[in-house]
Structures are given as structure tokens and as C-alpha cells.
């Protein structure tokens, strides 16, 4: 079976299982008997907001461009990547589904084939995000509740990546689910944890890619949370930003129940009730 070429976005709000999914893919592609090195993954599709890729493709100094000017150019970068790759390429993306200031979809059908969208209970996301950013949980919640939220948006220094509009947790989820330009396959993090084999196989099938059941199961074992924790504790992980917690910290479903105060859980539920209900999270 020929795998259809083009970009597949691996899209999610931060801390929703995106890295786990990428490590699974890397292990599947590597086809080795030992787990892939988390700091040297073969299938390194990169992130859509990579400053380095932007500069290499445009020949421009991204630090001299406004965030909006950069957004106007981003679809052109993805066209170039898709053409050059000539095969299927999965690329991580944390941007909400938005239009550029020129009115063009930033991540639309013109540049990509489809998207796999990972969604996770926002109460667990809040705890994970607070550890990841080394901030109090209340600040993480504020970030998730801000409809105009974005990351790497600073104007007094050069952020490590290009600006990404998140639009708050609900804004993010609905932007991807409501757009009609790209086919989207939605996976809940909780379902993937409960039944990884069928979850990953479903996503691969959606992308027109298949793999033997045994290979999928091997890649799942090699990307198992305990394995990722083992590697991180031994060698560290390049994508860790937290000052006080590992990247692969807990990964648990429902861990928020022991961490969030009632007021904190309430603040999330109040803000995101409609979207939480829509994707099946019990209030």
C-alpha cells in the first residue's frame, strides 16, 4: 500500500500527549528491537513553529519580522516542506487553527493533507502545564482560560519558536474541530492511554498508513511512559523546560483530583464546560 504524501499535522494544545505520539511514531519507523533514544529520534518531523526552518526556507531574519508578518509567510514554508519531502511527513503543531492576517488558513488544505488532533482533560492539562512552565497552577489556568492566549509572543527578546496562537483551551479545541478545510481525526489522550493499540492504529489508518499489529505493539512498548521516564532520568530530555520537574512527570489520567483545589477545578469547568461536554469530559 502506498502511503499518501503530504503533511499530517499532529495537533494539540500543549501537554496533551503530542510528544508521546511522536515517540511512538519514531519507534514504529525505526523498527528496532530496542527503544529509540528520546534525544535522537529518527522521525524528527520537527514543530511547525520552528524558527530555524522558517529562516532556512525564507533567507530572512525572523527577528526583524513582526509575528503577523511571519504568519503570512508560514503557509509558504509548509508548501515548500511538503514539496521537498515528497512523502508523508507528520509535523507537531501547537497552534490553534487560525487564519493569517491575509485571510488564508495558516495550516489549511492547501499545505497539508489532514490532521490528527489530540485532546486531554483540561484539568489534567492545567497540572501538567504548571509543572512544565514552572509556574503556579493558577497561572496555568489563567493561560488556558485566555481566549487570546499565545506562546512565544514576547516582543523584548527572541523566543525560541515562532509565535503560536492558542486561543485558550476551548478556543483551541473548537478551532480544530469546527474548521471544515482539513479532515481531522480526533483522539482523546485518555482513550489512547486506556487502549493504545487501537488508538494508534486508528490514527495510522486515517493517515493512509498501516503497520502489522505486532509492530504497533512493539512501538507502544518502546514508547511506554515508564521507558520514557527511565531514559529521561538517565540522560535527560532535550525538550524539558521545567526547572523543577521532569518532562515525563506523571502522564496519569485524572491526576488532577489529588492536585487541584476545588476552586481551581471550578475555574476550569466554568470556563470550558461546553467544550468539555462536547468531547466527553464529565464535569
State the residues that interact with other proteins by CB under 8 A: 39-40, 51-52, 55-66, 69, 72-73, 76-77, 79-80, 154-160, 235-240
Nearer to other proteins, 76 or 205 (CB): 76
CB of 242 vs other proteins, minimal distance in Å: 12
Q: How far is the CB of 40 from other proteins (least distance, A)?
A: 8
Sign of the torsion angle spanned by Cα atoms 36, 10, 192, 200: negative
User: What does the longest C-alpha to C-alpha distance in the chain come to?
Assistant: 52
What stretch of H or E contains 186? strand 184-188
Strand 164-165, strand 150-151: pairing = antiparallel
Is 44 or 52 the residue whose CB approaches other proteins more closely?
Answer: 52
What is d(CA 201, CA 205) in angstroms, rounded to the nearest whole number? Answer: 6
Residue 133 CB, shortest distance to other proteins, in Å, is: 14
Q: Which lies closer to other proteins via its Cβ, residue 75 or residue 122?
A: 75
With residue 90 as reference, give the H or E element that holds it.
strand 88-93
Q: How far is the CB of 241 from other proteins (least distance, A)?
A: 9
Nearer to other proteins, 112 or 268 (CB): 112
In the bound state with other proteins, the residue whose beta carbon lies nearer, of 14 and 75, is 75
CA–CA gap between residue 228 and residue 185 (Å, rounded): 25
User: From the CB of 198, what's the least distance to other proteins, in Å?
Assistant: 33
- Residue pointed to by grid coordinates 540522560: 235
Amino acid at each position: 500500500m502506498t502511503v499518501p504524501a503530504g503533511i499530517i499535522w499532529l495537533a494539540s494544545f500543549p501537554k496533551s500527549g503530542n510528544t508521546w505520539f511522536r515517540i511512538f511514531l519514531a519507534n514504529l519507523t525505526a523498527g528496532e528491537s530496542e527503544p529509540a533514544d528520546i534525544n535522537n529520534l529518527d522521525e524528527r518531523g520537527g514543530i511547525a513553529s520552528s524558527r530555524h526552518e522558517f529562516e532556512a526556507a525564507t533567507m530572512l531574519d525572523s527577528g526583524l519580522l513582526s509575528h503577523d508578518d511571519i504568519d503570512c509567510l508560514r503557509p509558504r514554508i509548509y508548501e515548500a516542506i511538503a514539496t521537498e519531502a515528497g512523502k508523508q511527513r507528520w509535523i507537531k503543531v501547537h497552534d490553534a487553527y487560525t487564519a493569517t492576517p491575509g485571510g488564508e488558513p495558516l495550516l489549511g488544505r492547501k499545505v497539508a493533507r489532514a490532521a490528527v488532533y489530540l485532546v486531554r482533560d483540561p484539568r489534567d492539562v492545567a497540572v501538567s502545564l504548571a509543572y512544565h512552565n514552572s509556574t503556579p497552577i493558577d497561572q496555568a489556568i489563567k493561560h488556558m482560560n485566555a481566549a487570546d492566549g499565545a506562546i512565544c509572543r514576547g516582543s523584548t527578546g527572541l523566543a525560541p519558536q515562532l509565535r503560536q496562537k492558542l486561543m485558550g483551551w476551548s478556543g483551541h479545541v473548537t478551532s480544530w474541530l469546527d474548521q471544515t478545510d482539513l479532515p481531522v481525526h480526533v483522539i482523546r489522550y485518555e482513550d489512547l492511554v486506556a487502549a493504545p493499540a487501537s488508538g494508534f492504529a486508528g490514527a495510522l489508518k486515517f493517515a493512509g498508513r498501516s503497520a502489522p499489529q505486532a509492530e504497533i505493539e512493539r512501538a507502544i512498548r518502546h514508547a511506554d511512559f515508564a521507558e520514557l521516564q527511565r531514559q529521561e532520568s538517565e540522560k535527560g530530555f532535550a525538550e524539558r523546560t521545567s526547572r523543577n520537574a521532569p518532562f515525563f512527570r506523571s502522564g496519569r489520567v485524572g491526576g488532577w483530583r489529588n492536585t487541584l483545589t476545588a476552586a481551581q477545578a471550578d475555574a476550569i469547568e466554568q470556563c470550558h464546560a461546553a467544550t468539555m461536554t462536547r468531547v466527553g469530559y464529565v464535569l
